[in-house]
Amino acid sequence: MKAHFKPYTLNFKRASGTSRGILHTKETYFIIIENDEKKGVGECNMFKGLSIDDRPGFLEKLQWTCDHIYVGLEKLLLELTAFPSMQFGLEQAFLSLESKHPFELFQNDFTASKKSIPINGLIWMGSKEFMHQQIKEKLKAGFSTIKLKIGAIDFKAELDLLQYIRSEFSAVEVELRVDANGAFSPENALEKLKRLSEFDLHSIEQPIRQGQWQEMAALCSRTPLPIALDEELIGVFSVTKQQELLQTIQAQYIILKPALVGGFKGCEGWIAMAEKQQMKWWVTSALESNIGLSAIAQWTFGLGNSMPQGLGTGALYTNNISCPLEVSKGALEYTTKDNWDFKL
């Protein structure tokens, strides 16, 4: 058995505003395993500025992983605890190696094109006009759950956008989620949550910056709308610390990004702990190519969570990998046509 990796630069169709600034390109890495005549591929989606493994030595560790592929998945996952994007890529690559089709890692009603996954329509940060345009496009496309990134423009302008949606659609017709990416301060967060709660929101993700457990706990105990932890989970590796985090903060939801919190196995550990505390959860992608996105979607479907998931559409990039994923009426589908164009 041997392995190698290759970098790939994804180019955005238009510059996209995130909490990490304006993105024009997105670097990712594909790890390819070969065993006799079979090959498997996975995506190591290291997200610069957000991933815990965005640090010097990343490429050297990825090469080390390829050089030691022969030790097997379980030992490598233990070795790569501090490199969750590599854990994510390896899980995919080993599943791919054993699958009949290199990109169909899980056999279920999703990959059989019998059922789809409801997803939220994501509104990117930008000017009020740009965000307004996106909202109209998502609603026209049939999305019944809309997620807005907030904290980048004037708060009053963001409230106006929410007011616009609510003037047209009730909470029964359109579910609204917002993501602050830690933009609020502990001092002003509660007052802003009160203003936001006027618009019948489903939830707000990460209202204050991660790492402030006591402040977040106080906010969760008084919040007028449900809070979901997102970045808060990144870099918390030990089960003991994970349990302490959930028990301390007592949020209403947690959000799971496989490439950022230890792949599928890491996410399943978080889910088990959250459910013991009656916390709900959903899965979110993190700007993967269609290889990583498809893997997340297939795995997510098998979890049986009926909530709309935060899965991207793969349509952000000019040079994404062609694949059978399509979006129809606010749901992600895996079509019957096999149009993967990635060369193993």
> ∠ CA(299), CA(18), CA(159), 5° rounding?
105
Those residues whose C-beta lies under 8 Å from the C-beta of residue 18, and which sit 6 or more positions away, are 124, 125, 149, 181
Respond yes or no: is residue 115 known to be catalytic.
Answer: no
Respond yes or no: is residue 149 known to be catalytic.
Answer: yes
Helix (H) or strand (E) holding 159: helix 155-168
DSSP 74: H
> What is the identity of the amino acid at 122?
L
Of 26, 138, 147, 149, which residue is the catalytic one? 149
Query: Rounded distance, CA 318 to CA 322, Å?
Result: 11
Give 331-335's long-range contacts (Cβ < 8 A, gap of 24+).
Answer: 331/116, 331/117, 331/118, 331/119, 332/116, 332/117, 332/119, 332/297, 333/113, 333/116, 333/117, 334/110, 334/111, 334/113, 334/294, 334/297, 334/298, 335/113
Helix (H, G, I), strand (E, B), or coil: what is residue 6?
strand
Of 138, 147, 192, 257, which residue is the catalytic one? 257
- Catalytic residue positions, numbered: 149, 257
